[in-house]
Structure 1
Amino acid sequence: MAEFRMPSLGADMEAGTLVEWLVKPGDQVHRGDVVAVVETQKGAIEIEIFESGTVEEILVPLDERVPVGTPLARLRLEGEGAEPAPRPPPSSPEATAALGAAPEGGEPKPFLPLARPGPAAPAEAELRPAAERILASPAARRIASERGLDLAALTGSGPGGAVISPDLDRAPAEEPRVAGPRARPGLDLDAMRSAIAGAMARSKREIPHYYLQHTVDMATALDWLAEANAGRTPERRLLAGALFIKAVALAARRFPALNGFFGTKNFEPSRAVHVGVAIAIRGGGLAAPALHDADRLSLGELMDGMRDLVQRTRAGRMRSSEIADATITVSSLGERGVEALYGVIYPPQVAIVGFGKIVQRPWVIDGAVGPRPVVTATLGADHRVSDGHAGALFLAHIDKLLQEPERL
C-alpha cells in the first residue's frame, strides 16, 4: 500500500487546496495520470500520480487546504492483493469468549479490543464521478463565477471539450444562470505575484549569484532555420527559441554542475535535463513549466512541446511535474525588444540562462567588418556550486552548438 501525498510545486509552496478529485475509490490509475486538481498561488495545477495501482481510499475531501506532504489518498500498488475486510465485532457472549479462547494445548490469548475506526472516506457525491465533472480552465471558471454563468450549460471548444474563456463570450448574457457550488476562482495574479516575490527574495538572499554574458553570431543558425522551415506549414515552423532551448539542454548535460538542485546543505546534480521555459501570463503573472528530457527531444518535438506549454500555461492547465521538475531555466525577452536579461535563479535550481533579441551588429569576419545577426546569452549561476570558469565554458559550448544547428 502506498500513500499519494500533496506534492511540493516549488520552493515557495507550503500548502495547497484540493479543488477536484478526478478519481474515486476502486479506479485504476497509471503513473503519469492526472488524478486531482490543487489550487496554489500559481493557480490550479493538475496533479499527476507517480505509481500505478488502484485507488483504495480518498483521505482528503474537496476544498480542504493541507500542507505539502499530507497524504491525500491511499493506493494499492499493482501486484498487491486487496486488504481483507475488517473483522466484525462480536455480537454475542459466545463470540467474545471465542476471541479469547486458547488454542489446543496452549495458554489463553489476551483479549485485544477492536481498534477505533478511522474517519470515513468522503461521500461518493463529493468525489464527483467522471461523468459529472465539468472540464474547464481556471480562467473560464473565474469568469463564469463573476458573470453568474453555469459551466454545465456551455459547450467547450478546448482540449477534450473543456470550456475555455472564449466559450463564455458566446454564452447568452441576458439569461445568466447561477454557477454551481464547484465553480472555483481562476488564476489570482496578486497571489502569483506574491509567490514570485517571496521566491525571488529568498533566491537573492540565500544564493550567491554570479553573472556572465556572451554574444553569439546567429547567421548560420538563422540560415539553417529558413531552409528547414521552407517545407513546413506556418503552424509547424521552428523558431529560434527551440534552438536556444536545445543548445542549453545539451550544454547542461555536459556541465552537470549547472543542472540540478541545491538541497538543505548539498547540491544534487540531475541525470535528466528538464528545461523550465519562462512564460509570461496575460495580466502580469509568470510561470516556468518544464520541458521534460529536452536534451533528448528533436527540434520538432521541442517546438511542439513549447507551443503546448504556452497554451496550457496561459489557460491555467499546468501539471505538477512540469512545475516541480525543472532542473535549469531558460528565459527570453527578445520578443519584447530587450537585448539582454539577467535572471534570478529559481530555487532549488542553480542556474538560469537568458536570451535577448536577435539584432544586427557590426561583426569582424576574416578581417572585414560587416553586419551580422547576433544574440546576447547570459548566465546567472549559484557560486556555491560552480564558478566563473565553468560558467564561461558552459556559455562557449552553447555558442558552439548554435554554430552547428543541423546537429541539434
Structure 2
Amino acid sequence: MPALGSDMDEGTLNEWLIKPGDSVTRGQVVAVVETTKAAVEVECWQEGVVHELLVPVGETVQVGTPLATLLTTGERAPAAPKKRSKRTTKPAAVEPAARAASPIPSAGTVDGTHRRRWVSPAARRIAASLGVDVDTITGTGPQGAVTINDVEHAAASATKPTAKAAAADRAVQMRRSIAAAMGRSKREIPHYYLADEIPMQKALTWLTERNASRAITERVLPAVLLLKAVGLAAQRFGEFNGFWQADGFQPGTGVHVGVAISLRGGGVVAPAIHDVPDKKLDELMQNLTDLVARARAGSLRSSEMSDPTITITNLGDQGVDAVFGVIYPPQVALVGFGKPAQRVRVIDGGIHVVTTVHATLSADHRASDGHRGALFLAAINEFLQQPDALEK
C-alpha cells in the first residue's frame, strides 16, 4: 500500500485492474485505492509478470503492506507459496477474499469490449449506505465518472437526512486526516516565514494581450504564470524542492509542484503537476484544469499524490491578501499567493497605483535559511517581471 501523503495511515483496496499472469509495465495503473480524500489510481513502479494478489478487494490495510508480488523477466514462480507475513487489516465488509484473484468485472461496454466504469470509491460507499444502484446513475465527472454529488442528488428526494449524515461523516474523516498531517508538520518542522509584494502589472498586461487573440477555452489564467514562476525558482534553488527524510534533505528528481485544491465537500488535496519548468503555459493550463476536475471528482493517480516536491496554495480568489501555509511533510517548502489588488507603490521616486500580489514562503529551517529563502522569493518576482521567459 503506497503512502499517498503524510496524512495517510491506511487505505482500502477498491479494485484490482490486473490478475495473476498479466504482464505489467512501469507507470501502469494496476489498482484503485480509497483514502479519506479521494479514489487514487495506484501505478506500478516495476516491470514484470503478476504472480500473486495478496490483498482482496474491500480490505483495508496499513501503508507499506504488500499488495501483490511480481516475477521479473525470466524468473520462475516458487515451487511452494511463501508464508504470508501478518498484516493489520480491517475485515472486508462486502467483497469476499476469493475475489482477490481476479479483477472486478467491468460495468458497461464499448463496441462489445468491456471497460471499467468510473465510480468514486467514496461515492460507491455512500450509494451502498443509501441503497442507490450506481449503475442507474449518469455520471457527471471526467470520463462519465459517478461522483459523490451524483449519488447524493439521486438519493436526495427519499433519503436526504441520510445523505447529509454520510457527507458529515466524510467531512469529519477528512478533517481528522488533515489535522494529523498538519499537527505532525508543526511538531516536527521548524518553520520560518517570509513575504514579498510582487508587481503583477507587466505580467497581467502581457497575459491579457496574449489571451485576446485566443478562444475562451484556450486562454491561460494568471494562476498558471504563478505556477510556472515557482517551478523555475524551485529549479534554481534546489534546497526548496525535495524532502526531509530521517537521514537529511533529499533533493527532488524533478520539479513536481503540488497544487492545493479545495474540495466541494470540504477539505483540501494537493496533487502534483509534474515537470513544471519543462512545460509551456498552454500545457500547464490543460494540466491544471484536468487536475482540478479529477480531484473534485475523487479520481487521482498515486504519483500525483506522492510526488509533489513543493506546494503552492493560492487563496487569491477567496479575497485573502496573504496566506502563510503549513508545510506538507516530508516536503520542505510551501509558497502562498493572495489576491492581486491595486495598491500604492513608490516607483522611481514617483507614487503609482499598480496591481500587486503578496507572495509568502513557508520553509523548513533544517533544509534552508532566511537568506536563501529571500533569494528564492526574489527569483519568483524576477520571473514574473519577464513573462516572455515563462512562455518558453
TM-score normalised according to structure 1 size: 0.82
1:205 deviates by: 1.2
* C-alpha distance 153-217 of structure 1, shift in aligned 2 (>3 A): same
What is residue 359 of structure 2 aligned with on the other side? 377
What is the letter of the counterpart of residue 200 of structure 1?
M
Q: State the match for 1:233 in structure 2.
A: 215
Matched, 1:21 2:16: yes
Question: How far is 1:201 from its partner?
Answer: 1.0
1:333 to 315, 329, 336: 315
CA distance 1:116–1:248, shift in 2 (3 Å): closer
Please list, as runs of the form range in 1=range in 2, the aligned pairs for 1:167-182 lying within 5 A after superposition: 168=151
CA distance in structure 2 between the aligned counterparts of 1:238 and 1:268, rounded to whole angstroms = 33
1:209 aligns with 2:191: yes
Moved more, 339-348 or 155-164: 155-164
C-alpha distance in 1 between matches for 2:278 and 2:169: 32
Query: Structure 1: which 5+ residue stretches go unaligned?
Result: 1-5, 87-114, 177-183
* Pair 1:144 & 2:122 matched: no
Output the CA distance in 2 between the equivalents of 1:174 and 1:341.
40
2:104 to 128, 137, 140: 128
Query: Which stretch of structure 1 is more off in the superposition, 387-396 or 234-243?
Result: 234-243
Helix, strand or coil: the match of 1:349? coil
For the 8 Å contact 1:44–1:187, the answer to whether it is kept is: no
CA distance 1:378–1:82, change in 2 (3 Å): same
Other structure's SS at 1:307 match: helix
Alignment check: 8 A CA contact 2:24 2:47 kept:
yes
Distance 1:395 1:174, change over 3 A: closer
Q: Which amino acid aligns with 2:179?
A: A
CA distance, structure 2, for counterparts of residue 228 and residue 188 of structure 1 = 42
Which whole-Å CA distance do the structure 2 matches of 1:172 and 1:242 have between them? Answer: 38
Bigger Rg, which one: 1
Structure 1 stretch displaced more, 251-260 or 122-131:
122-131
Q: Does the 8 Å contact 1:312/1:318 carry over to 2?
A: yes
Q: Kindly tell me: are residues 124 and 357 of structure 1, through their superposed partners in 2, closer, same or farther at Cα, counting changes over 3 Å?
A: closer
What is the root-mean-square deviation in Å for CA atoms of aligned residues? 2.6
Alpha-carbon distance between aligned partners in 1 of 2:181 and 2:224, rounded to the nearest angstrom: 27
Match of 1:76 in 2: 71
**1:30 matched to which residue of 2?**
25
2:111 maps to what in 1? none
Cross-structure match for 1:243: 225
Partner of 1:285: 267
Give, in angstroms, the shift of residue 369 of structure 1: 1.0
Aligned to 2:350: 368
Report if aligned partners of 1:138, 1:187 keep a CA contact under 8 Å in 2. Answer: no
Matched, 1:274 2:256: yes
Query: What's the TM-score once normalised by structure 2's chain length?
Result: 0.85
Paired AA for residue 128 in structure 1: I
Paired with 2:331 and 2:217, the residues of 1 have a C-alpha distance of 33
8 A contact 1:142–1:186 mirrored in 2: no
Deviates more, 1:47-56 or 1:242-251: 47-56
Q: Equivalent of 1:403, from 385, 388, 391?
A: 385
CA-to-partner distance for each residue in 1:337-381, whole Å, 9 max, x for gaps?
001010011110000000000000112233221210000000010
Residue 389 of structure 1: aligned partner? 371
Structure 1 residues 53 and 116: CA distance shift in structure 2, 3 A: closer
Aligned-residue offset at 1:311: 0.5
Equivalenced residues, count: 365
Q: Which amino acid in the other structure matches residue 83 of structure 1?
A: A
Is the 8 Å Cα contact of residues 34 and 121 (structure 2) preserved in structure 1? Answer: no
Gapped runs of 5+ residues in structure 2? 85-96, 107-113, 160-165
AA aligned to 2:347 is I
Which structure has greater helix proportion? 2
Task: Compare 247-256 and 262-271 and name the one that shifted more.
Answer: 262-271
Question: What residue in structure 2 maps to residue 89 of structure 1?
Answer: none
* Mapped contact 2:38–2:120 kept (Cα < 8 A): no
